[in-house]
């Protein structure tokens, strides 16, 4: 099993946009997803791995201190922070937390369907060009947008010897990418980018950048006039399965919150739980000091964040794959579908919280497809 898992994670995967969609059990749900581990290939950078899992630069680097960003090397263990504590906001429309550089979208549920949250990493305004906080809405959507740089950006580029045209046409050289959604805040957009490495960094003039595939996904599902709330919450805490989870992100000095100040974390915890043991408070303090950006239960060591989760590994031909897609739709599991890159006809389905849950789903899938489907259970703790 250990050998198989290493092979699996080296060959892994480009998740679809659905892999960043999570069901909300009820209105109180604030912890979603699972942290995962993969092993890098010789040609991988941390940024390659991050994009496969829809994770930004800041998230993958913060979760893997000491790992070389550009040359992690073959077989390097890489933590993918794919568990999220939702921001402490109303679960409506688009919510953007600048502190973690991540966007959350809460679509209106269809009749009979559970509520969901869709999340993607973002790039935001650099120091001196901060992305503003506040509530607004989507007032315009445009495919293949042109860009008319404001006078301040013209002046900046001119001073750097890189003059801009009055209007930058749509195309590969347009920094807005192929899709843009204008906010009610004058001058600010949610948009794609022709420089994907900027997702997860503070490099823009205040606008919010997404990976090209992510903005295309959102452009198709976020309606005009959808509400948008932009917050700055570097410390988050929430209960999940009777455990307290905490998450701490790097502090931006220009946001006027003192580094390693425990007060915001204490406030976040006390909103969730009245009291903690001395050991748990020490753990929370270590989280503040490390700024890993990883959601962790307080009863684990800071570097022990992988929980026992299970996948079904299925191999099949094209005809069975069509039946599998139908079966997943019937079982409302489309968002648990992870295609394996470099392994034709093979997929991962999951993750599941227990071996029994994975077994039960595997039996249902075999019943609905009408053919035996090869399945392998993959516990995360063997990594």
> 368, 330 in Cβ contact below 8 A?
yes
Q: Give Cα separations from 331 to 69, 276, 336 (angstroms).
A: 39, 39, 10
CATH class of 2-7+306-382: alpha beta
Instruction: Give the angle 351-354-358 at the CA atoms, nearest 5°.
Output: 60
Report residue 261's pLDDT band, with 50, 70 and 90 as the boundaries: low
How far apart are alpha carbons 32 and 302 in whole angstroms?
19
State mean pLDDT over 311-331: 69
Share of the chain above pLDDT 90, in %: 30
Report residue 94's pLDDT band, with 50, 70 and 90 as the boundaries: very high
> 106, 73 in Cβ contact below 8 A?
no
Helix (H, G, I), strand (E, B) or coil at 44: coil
Of 270-274, 371-375, 379-383, least confident by mean pLDDT is 379-383
Measure the CA dihedral 135/138/139/143, to 10°.
150
State mean pLDDT over 288-317: 65
How far apart are alpha carbons 175 and 94 in whole angstroms?
22
Decide if pLDDT at 269 tops 80. Answer: no
Decide if pLDDT at 245 tops 80. Answer: yes
**pLDDT tens, 111-127?**
777 889 999 999 998 87
What's the confidence (pLDDT) of residue 309? 61
State mean pLDDT over 145-152: 79
What's the confidence (pLDDT) of residue 208? 94
Q: Give Cα separations from 30 to 244, 247, 376, 381 (angstroms).
A: 11, 12, 30, 24
Measure the CA dihedral 7/11/17/22, to 10°.
10
Report residue 12's pLDDT band, with 50, 70 and 90 as the boundaries: very low
**pLDDT tens, 171-187?**
888 889 999 999 999 98
> 382, 1 in Cβ contact below 8 A?
yes
Active site residue 207: yes
Of 38-47, 235-244, 360-369, least confident by mean pLDDT is 360-369
**pLDDT tens, 221-233?**
999 999 999 999 9
Active site residue 157: no
Query: Which is it for strands 116-121 and 124-125: parallel, antiparallel or unpaired?
Result: unpaired
Share of the chain above pLDDT 70, in %: 78
Cis peptide before 238 (omega within 30 of 0): no
Decide if pLDDT at 353 tops 80. Answer: no
Query: Which is it for strands 124-125 and 202-204: parallel, antiparallel or unpaired?
Result: parallel
List the domain boundaries for the chain: 2-7+306-382, 86-231, 237-297
Of 198-202, 247-251, 360-364, least confident by mean pLDDT is 360-364
What's the confidence (pLDDT) of residue 343? 43
> Could you identify the residue written with the tokens 């080296």?
10
- Evaluate whether 2-7+306-382 and 86-231 have a shared fold: no
Instruction: State the pTM of this model.
Output: 0.77
Q: Give Cα separations from 374 to 313, 317, 326, 333, 362 (angstroms).
A: 7, 11, 17, 18, 9
What's the confidence (pLDDT) of residue 347? 65
Measure the CA dihedral 321/322/323/329, to 10°.
110
Hey, what CATH topology would domain 86-231 get? L,D-transpeptidase catalytic domain-like (2.40.440)
What's the confidence (pLDDT) of residue 138? 97
Which residue did the predictor score with more confidence, 66 or 313?
A: 66
State mean pLDDT over 126-155: 86
Decide if pLDDT at 216 tops 80. Answer: yes
From the list 9, 120, 207, 313, the catalytic residue is 207
What's the confidence (pLDDT) of residue 371? 62
Report residue 346's pLDDT band, with 50, 70 and 90 as the boundaries: low
347 alpha carbon, distance to own chain's centre: 20
Instruction: Give the angle 369-374-376 at the CA atoms, nearest 5°.
Output: 125
Residue 130 has, within 13 A of its CA and on its CB side, a CA count of: 16
How far apart are alpha carbons 182 and 136 in whole angstroms?
10
Mean pLDDT over each residue of the chain, to the nearest integer: 78
What's the confidence (pLDDT) of residue 379? 43
What's the confidence (pLDDT) of residue 257? 67
Decide if pLDDT at 342 tops 50. Answer: no
Q: Which two tokens stand for residue 106?
A: 């809460």
From the list 34, 120, 191, 313, the catalytic residue is 191
């Amino acid at each position: 099993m250990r050998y198989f898992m290493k092979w699996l994670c080296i060959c892994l995967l480009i998740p679809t946009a659905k892999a960043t969609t999570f069901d909300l059990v009820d209105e109180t749900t604030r912890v979603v997803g699972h942290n995962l581990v993969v092993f890098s290939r010789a040609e991988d950078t941390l940024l390659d791995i991050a994009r496969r899992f829809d994770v930004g630069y800041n998230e993958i680097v913060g979760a893997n201190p000491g790992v070389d960003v550009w040359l992690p090397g073959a077989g390097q263990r890489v933590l993918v922070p794919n568990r999220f504590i939702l921001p402490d906001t109303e679960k409506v429309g688009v919510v953007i937390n600048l502190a973690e550089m991540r966007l959350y979208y809460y679509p209106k549920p269809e009749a009979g369907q559970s509520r969901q949250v869709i999340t993607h990493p973002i790039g935001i305004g650099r120091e001196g060009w901060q992305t503003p906080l506040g509530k607004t809405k989507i007032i315009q959507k445009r495919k293949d947008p042109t860009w008319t740089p404001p006078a301040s950006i013209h002046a900046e580029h001119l001073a750097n010897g890189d003059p801009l045209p009055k209007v930058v046409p749509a195309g590969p050289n347009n920094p807005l990418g192929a899709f843009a959604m204008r906010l009610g805040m004058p001058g600010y957009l949610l948009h794609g980018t022709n420089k994907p490495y900027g997702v997860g960094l503070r490099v823009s003039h205040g606008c919010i950048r997404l990976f090209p595939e992510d903005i295309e996904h959102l452009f198709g599902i976020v309606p005009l006039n959808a509400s948008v709330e932009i917050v700055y919450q570097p410390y988050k805490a929430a209960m999940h399965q009777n455990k307290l989870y905490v998450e701490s992100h790097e502090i931006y000095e220009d946001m006027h919150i003192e580094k390693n100040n425990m007060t915001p974390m204490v406030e976040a915890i006390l909103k969730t739980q009245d009291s903690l043991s001395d050991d748990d408070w020490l753990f929370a303090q270590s989280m503040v000091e490390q700024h890993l950006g990883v959601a962790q239960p307080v009863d684990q060591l800071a570097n022990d964040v992988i929980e026992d989760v299970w996948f079904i590994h299925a191999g099949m031909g094209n005809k069975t794959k069509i039946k599998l897609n139908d079966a997943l739709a019937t079982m409302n599991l489309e968002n648990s579908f992870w295609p394996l890159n470099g392994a034709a006809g093979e997929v991962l389905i999951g993750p599941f919280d227990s071996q029994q849950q994975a077994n039960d789903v595997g039996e249902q899938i075999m019943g609905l497809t009408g053919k035996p489907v090869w399945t392998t259970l993959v516990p995360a703790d063997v990594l």
